[in-house]
Amino acid sequence: MNYLSKYDVIFSGLSIGRHDFIFEIDDKFFEQFDCSEIRQGQLSANVELNRLSDSMIANVTVKGEVTTVCDRCLDNVAISIEYKGALLIKYGKPDDNTDINDEIMYLNRGDDTINLARYIYESICVSLPIQRLHSDESRCNEEMIKILKKMKVN
């Protein structure tokens, strides 16, 4: 079984209206994505799926903490993540005039399942700050800081 199938939502039997799902995200989740900047993580994704007659809206909230590389010392640094977003899920294919973006997912008419793993992963990635640093330099790797100070140009 594919690990990311844990993030499937089978919507074929769901009535029109609101349905809630909770997905736990751990280190193994991030291992499924090649070249991930995130090394570890413990997060929770809450999905409120509003099923309409011809589409669905998934309101997604992700909270937790991930471990990535400090831009200053290259050691691991923990970063808190908080994300809120909405994903519109429609049937059919976009036509030539449709603006394609990351907030719209298209399904084939026969589909009965959506996998939210990629959307959750990308939501976490865009929530990372541009600079990923320890809260202060004293938490950085001392040896690396010494090397950086030696190389600093006045």
**pLDDT digit string, tens, across residues 68-108:** 999 999 999 999 999 999 999 998 876 655 556 678 888 88
User: Rounded to whole angstroms, how far apart are CA atoms 134 and 39?
Assistant: 16
Strand order across the 76-91 sheet: 17-25, 40-51, 55-69, 76-91, 104-107
State what percent of residues in the chain have pLDDT above 70: 94
Q: Which residues pair with 63 in a beta bridge?
A: 44, 82
Q: Which of 30, 14, 9, 34 is nearest to 107 (CA)?
A: 9
Alpha carbon 68 to chain centroid distance? Answer: 14
Distance (Å) of CA 98 to CA 39, 93, 106? 36, 9, 12
pLDDT higher for 138 or 44? 44
Proportion of the chain in helix, strand, coil states, percent, rounded to 5: 20, 40, 40
pTM, two decimals, is 0.87
Task: Report how many domains make up the chain.
Answer: 1
| Domain region containing 18 | 3-151
For residue 5 the two structure tokens come to 């199938």
